[in-house]
Amino acid sequence: MEFWQNLELNEALFHTLKELLIVVGIGLLLGLEREFTKSGNHQERLFAGIRTFAIVTLMGYLALYLSNLYSIWIFIATLGGVIVMIALSYQRTGKQDFGTTTEFALLIAYLLGALVFTGNYHLAVSITVIVTALLALKTRMHDAVQRLSQPDILSILIFIVITALVLPLLPNQNWGPYGILNLYEIWLIVVIFVTLNFAGYFLTKFLDQKKSTLMTGILGGFVSSTATTWYFSRQSGKSEEGGVIEAAAIILASSIMFPRLLIWLLLLNFPLFKSIWWFVLLLGLVGIGFGYWIARKQDQLSEGPPKEVRNPINLREALIFALIYLAIQFVVGYANAHFGENGVYLASGISGITDIDAITISMANFSKSGLAQTVAGTAILIAAFANTLIKFIFCLFFGNKRLKRYTSMVFVPLFAIGIGYIVFRLMG
C-alpha cells in the first residue's frame, strides 16, 4: 500500500486510468474488427484501422473533458472536424462502389469516447459490442435480407406495430367479472402467440424445418409453453403427414416449464425450493430427454414435404387462443371467489391451467406468511400438472395421429408419476 502512496496514485487518478482503459479498449475493438474485415477483401480501401479508431475514441473523451473545463464548443468543433475528415476521405473514393459503414463506425467511436467521460461505462461498452456485432455480421445480414420478400417486409412492419406500438399503449388494469378483462394482459397473450408464429416462419428461411421447429419450441418454453403447444398442435392438425417434430417441440417446451418454475422458487423462497427441487428437476430432465429422443426418431420417419407457412402474422389463431385464455381465467376467478383459502389445491389446479408462474409466485409468498411448505409445494405441483394436462388436451383435440401418439408416450407416464408423488405427499 505504501508503494502506491509513494507514487501518489490517488483515487481520482485511478478513476481516470480506468476510463482511459475503457476508451482505448472500445477503440481497439472497433478498429480490430474493421482492419480484420478489410484485410479479407483487398478490393476495399482501409479508411480507418485499429490505430485510427483508438485515437478517435480518445479524441472524443478528451474533447468532452476540455469542454467540461472551458466550453462545450470545443466538443462541437472537434465533432465537426471529425465529420469533415470523414467527408473528405469519402469524397476521394466516392466514384468507387464503397459503402459508408466504416465512416459511421468511426463517428460512433468518437461519441463513445465522450460517453465514457460521462460515466456511462456499461452503456458505452454495450453499444460497442452491438456495433461490432453488426459490423462483423455484415455478410450474413445481407444474405438474410436477400431471402426476404415484399410480403415478409410487410409482416415485419405489422409485427412491430402489434408488439412495440399497440401493447405499451394499452392500460394494465383489471376490470370486469373477477378482474379478468385486462387489455394489456389479453393483448400480451396475442403478442406471445404472434411472436411464436413470427419466429417459426422466419427461422424456416434460415434453418431447415426440423431445426426451426425445435428452436421455436425451446424459445416458446421460456415464454409460454401453453401457447407453444396450441400453435404446434394446430400446425400438425392441418395435415396427416408429419407431426413428429412438432411433438418433440411441444415436449421440449413443456419440459422447460419445470426448471423455469424452480428459478422462481430459488429467487423467492429457498426453503420451498429445497423441498421439491429434485422431483421437479427430474421431471424436466426426463421430458427434455424424451423430446430429444423424439427429435431423433423423426430422422427415421417420412415427414412428408415441409409445411409451408404462408402467413407469419396469424391474428385469427391468436385471438381464438386469447378468448380461450379469457374463458379459463373466468373459471379461475370463480373458484378463487367461492373457495378462498380452503380451496388452495383446487384453486391451484384451476390457476395452473393458464399460468404456472403466477401460482408459483403466490405459493412462494404464502409459504413465507404461514402456509405450510408441504401444502405450498403440493399446490405448485398440482398447478404444474394441471398446466401439462391442458397442453395434452390441446394435442389430443387438434393434433394429427403422429403428434397424439408421441405426446401421449411422454405425457401419460409423467401424469402417472406426478399423480403418484402428489398422493404420496398428501398422505404423508
pLDDT confidence of residue 336: 57
The confidence score (pLDDT) of residue 162 equals: 79
* Contact between residue 193 and residue 167 where contact means Cβ atoms under 8 Å apart: no
pLDDT tens digits along 322-356 = 776 677 667 656 665 666 545 667 777 877 777 67
List, for the chain, all residue ranges whose pLDDT scores fall below the cut of 50. Answer: 1-4, 42-43, 95, 97, 302-309, 341
Q: What is the pLDDT of residue 380?
A: 86
Residue 216: C-alpha distances to residues 48, 126, 135, 229, 232 (Å):
40, 27, 27, 11, 10
Query: Would you say how long the chain is, in residues?
Result: 428
How many whole angstroms from its chain centre is CA 138?
23
What CA–CA distance (Å, rounded) separates 347 from 382? 10
- Nearest by Cα to 109 from 31, 18, 35: 31
- As a whole number of angstroms, the distance between CA 263 and CA 268 comes to 9
- Closest CA relative to residue 89, chosen from 136, 142, 132, 46: 46
pLDDT value of residue 95: 45
